[in-house]
Amino acid sequence: MATQIQFEQIETALQVLPIQSRTMLQLLLLQYIDVTQEEIDYMAEDQPDSRFLAGKQPKGKTISLEAVQDVTSRSNQYKGYYRQKRERPAMHVEFLQQSLTLLDRRIRIVERLLSSDFKTDEETLQAKRSQAPSVLLRQELRKLDRAWEHEEIPQKDFQTQRLLLEFQALLRRRAIFRRRNKIAQQDLVTAGSLPLKDHEIAHIWGIPLGSLAARKVKALQQFLTLLQKHEDSPSNGTTQPLDIWRETFTVLSKRPVERSLVEYDGLEKTEEILMEKLQAFVSGNMSEPEESKFWTSITKVNDTEFSGSWASHARSILAFQRLHALLNDMDLSDEALEDELSAKIIPKQADDQIATEEEEKPVELSEKGLGVLNAFIGEQDDKRRT
């Protein structure tokens, strides 16, 4: 593209525009540019008086405080919605990239353990890599546990097979996260290139939709004409206005994403259950079906009658804010990751399992025992005093 627009040039072009065109451009770019008080007062004053719709509007109208508050409220509502619409995929991308880096480290640690401690050759590792997308992990884990319970496999072989299954699980999780990251990046690009729609601008401004088109065309023409002056190679021909408009959003999308302050609003019914599931998700202790279902729950947009689009992005933002906090609190050193993997492949001892079951089994009295106990306690409605 011939143009190389800078953010400062966009700001300069906006400042020199007339008040009406500047207001229109700031509304179109509302997810990046704040509307100032001057533009809010202008929109409140420019609104038509409903008492004079059949004739000429009166001159010298006074600005009512209610009109200013309404314009401010609607502007903040759309600004928050569009910025959260961009913040949601941005947080997805950030979390997925951190998780992919962590998964790469875990896979390298598993490969090192298999090669050094369990003497697994490269041919076996390559075979497990090729089988990872199609292997039935839950079935293989049950088969391995059953073989250990029946003492059909020694401990060293059990740990080797268990670590190979963990190796395949990590490879599958990394492939899934890569696909999710690609989708999240596409969503981020799409969300970052969306101007406000005409009916949304008319709603904020408080003017009829039919009177908006001419103002929009005039404002865009003035704005893009100012930006055309920054072409690097004007001798090759004038850049099309559509390309300059796209370049404007490309430059603005590189701006830092603002973080929102959101509150818990009932995701997963209670906040305690949500935190438990987030902890299991970030630790990799969820099964694939559970993880897929939970990922959909924390990333979907709830455009329904009861949870409209205004709160849909805030739910996902809250979940990923908690995920980032959990990820930052984890010990991610190589030693901690190796200890975590070593704990996963330790087989359960039969004696310990039996002892645990006996301890957890509640003591139940027979009918005869309950009768003897009631005889010692006496009648429950005894009113005697000592």
Q: How far apart are CA 21 and CA 37, in angstroms?
A: 15
Q: How far apart are CA 315 and CA 88, in angstroms?
A: 9
More confident residue, 58 or 171: 171
Show the tokens assigned to 105.
């480290």
Taking the alpha carbons of 214, 44, 47, 42 in that order, is the dihedral positive or negative? negative
% of the chain surpassing 70 pLDDT: 82
Q: How far apart are CA 361 and CA 138, in angstroms?
A: 27
Query: Which of 42-51, 261-270, 310-319, 343-352 has the weakest average pLDDT?
Result: 343-352
Residue 3 backbone dihedrals phi, psi, to 5 degrees:
-85, 150
Q: What global pTM score does this model have?
A: 0.81
Q: How far apart are CA 44 and CA 71, in angstroms?
A: 7
Q: 3-class SS at 71?
A: helix
pLDDT at 292: 93
CB contact at 8 A, 20 and 219: yes
Show the tokens assigned to 307.
């949870």
Q: 3-class SS at 3?
A: strand
> What is the CB neighbour count within 10 angstroms for residue 69?
12
| Cα-to-chain-centroid distance, residue 4 | 31
pLDDT at 300: 82
Nearest to 192 by CA among 273, 91, 89: 89
pLDDT tens digits, one per residue of 11-21? 999 999 999 99
Residues in the chain: 386
Show the tokens assigned to 74.
């609607």
Q: pLDDT averaged over the chain?
A: 85
pLDDT at 12: 92
Q: How far apart are CA 96 and CA 228, in angstroms?
A: 38
Question: Per-domain residue ranges for the chain?
Answer: 7-49+62-83+194-252, 91-192+261-344
CB contact at 8 A, 94 and 324: yes
pLDDT at 385: 46
Residue 97 backbone dihedrals phi, psi, to 5 degrees:
-70, -40
pLDDT tens digits, one per residue of 215-243? 999 999 999 999 888 665 554 555 688 78
**Cα three-residue angle 331-337-341, rounded to 5 degrees:** 140
pLDDT at 235: 45
**Residue burial 17-47, b: 16+ Cβ < 10 Å; e: rest:** beebbbbbbbbbbbbbbebeeebbbbbbebb
The stretch 156-178 carries a mean pLDDT of 94
